[in-house]
């Protein structure tokens, strides 16, 4: 098969123009909202507030573009991209447990091996609580922004038009590329971020729920930054009260980039992805099935129903 054959055909071309139109609408929305923010908001905000505002702008623009594409092109409600109003707390927590469990297991292994060293630092309990809550709010908005792009409408359109494998490869590679200019980034970091993208894509495909993917993304970043005081993709948020330093080999711990640049993350990611593919804990909810997600039509053509009558989540 030639490279051009991967993107040639009526379904594939239709998927590509819909993705491009979505991106144009999102970029236009970001420009408009950023212009308004520059006029209305003070120019001397601190770095965390700037990150929160930029992430919120991204979320608003991506949601608006998703709404236009779902209503105007797909003739479906916005919720069909994976954002049903019923059960969203349960779905978000289910994803968060996966992300928190992954990073907690990784950090505890590193601590047990002596590759992470906890040290006291300036700060108070009140300051720590404020930091934990503030980071939680910031990171949930940042996670929603990235998931709307990388597991939201564009990804789902690619699944519908090109199939699961190619859609996961494209979206996960793009997700890794988004981090290419982060501080201290390297090849292992980009590979691990792509693996994280695969895990989140599988979580979405198993449940058809963006709430699960957002929760997973948030839990991963929040527990890494707020609880274990580790850099998130090269960004150090500096938890008050204590510090956890990477003292083991950089190739294993990830060094200044954080655990996402270490081989330990690679080793843990592979079995967790396989678990996500097979576990019955990740299933499509009745609420999502009623909304007729875009990917359902493609996947139901590729496999017959499982013995219990539910549609299969992956080809």
Instruction: Read off the pTM.
Output: 0.90
Query: For 131-139, what is the mean pLDDT?
Result: 92
Q: How far does Cα 118 stand from its chain's mean position?
A: 28
Q: Which has the higher per-residue pLDDT, 46 or 50?
A: 50
Q: Which has the higher per-residue pLDDT, 9 or 63?
A: 63
pLDDT band at 2 (very low <50, low <70, confident <90, very high): very low
Q: Which sign does the torsion angle of CA 186, 219, 52, 157 carry? A: positive
Query: For 251-277, what is the mean pLDDT?
Result: 95
pLDDT band at 123 (very low <50, low <70, confident <90, very high): confident
Report the mean per-residue pLDDT for the chain.
89
pLDDT band at 297 (very low <50, low <70, confident <90, very high): low
**Least confident piece of the model among 39-48, 114-123, 158-167, 257-266:** 39-48
- For tokens 């963006």, the residue is 210
pLDDT band at 121 (very low <50, low <70, confident <90, very high): confident
3-class SS letters over the chain: CCHHHHHCCHHHHHHHHHHHHHHHHHHHHHHHHHHHHHHHCCCCCCHHHHHHHHHHHHHHHHHHHHHHHHHHHHCCCHHHHCCCCCCHHHHHHHHHHHHHHHHHHHHHHHHHHCCEEEEECCCCHHHHHHHHHHHHHHHHHHHHHHHHHHCCHHHHHHHHHHCHHHHHHHHHHHHHHCCCCCCCCCHHHHHHHHHHHHHHHHHHHHHCCHHHHHHHHHHHHHHHHHHCCCCECCECCCCCCEEEEECCCHHHHCHHHCHHHCHHHHHHHHHHHHHHHHCCCCCCCHHHHHCCCHHHHHHHHHCCCCCCCCCCCCC
**Which residue from 10, 303, 15 is spatially nearest to 166, judged by alpha carbons?**
15
Cβ atoms of 68 and 25 closer than 8 Å: yes
Model confidence pLDDT, tens digit, residues 193-230: 999 999 999 999 999 999 999 999 999 999 999 999 99
* Spatial separation of the C-alpha atoms in residues 92 and 217, rounded to whole Å: 10
- Can you give the pLDDT at residue 259? 94
């Amino acid at each position: 098969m030639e490279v051009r054959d991967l993107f040639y055909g009526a379904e594939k071309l239709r998927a590509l123009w819909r993705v491009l139109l979505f991106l144009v609408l999102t970029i236009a929305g970001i420009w408009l909202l950023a212009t308004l923010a520059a006029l209305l908001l003070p120019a001397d905000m601190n770095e965390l507030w700037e990150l929160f505002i930029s992430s919120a702008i991204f979320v608003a623009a991506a949601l608006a573009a998703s709404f236009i594409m779902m209503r105007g092109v797909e003739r479906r409600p916005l919720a069909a991209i994976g954002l049903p109003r019923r059960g969203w707390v349960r779905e978000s927590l289910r994803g968060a447990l996966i992300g928190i469990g992954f990073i907690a297991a990784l950090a505890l292994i590193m601590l047990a091996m002596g590759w992470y060293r906890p040290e006291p630092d300036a700060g108070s309990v009140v300051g720590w609580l404020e930091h934990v809550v503030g980071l939680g709010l910031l990171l949930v908005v940042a996670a929603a922004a990235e998931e709307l792009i990388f597991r939201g409408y564009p990804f789902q359109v690619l699944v519908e038009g090109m199939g699961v494998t190619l859609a996961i490869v494209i979206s996960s590679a793009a997700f890794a590329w988004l981090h290419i200019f982060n501080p201290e980034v390297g090849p292992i970091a980009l590979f691990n971020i792509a693996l994280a993208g695969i895990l989140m894509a599988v979580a979405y495909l198993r449940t058809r729920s963006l709430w699960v993917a957002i929760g997973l993304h948030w839990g991963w970043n929040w527990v890494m930054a707020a609880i274990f005081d580790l850099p998130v993709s090269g960004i150090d948020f500096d938890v008050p009260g204590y510090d956890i330093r990477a003292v083991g080999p950089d190739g294993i711990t990830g060094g200044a980039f954080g655990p996402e640049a270490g081989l330990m993350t690679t080793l843990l990611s592979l079995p967790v992805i396989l678990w996500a593919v097979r576990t019955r804990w990740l299933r499509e909810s009745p609420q999502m099935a009623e909304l007729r997600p875009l990917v359902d039509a493609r996947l139901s053509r590729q496999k017959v129903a499982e013995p219990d009558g539910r549609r299969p989540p992956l080809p």
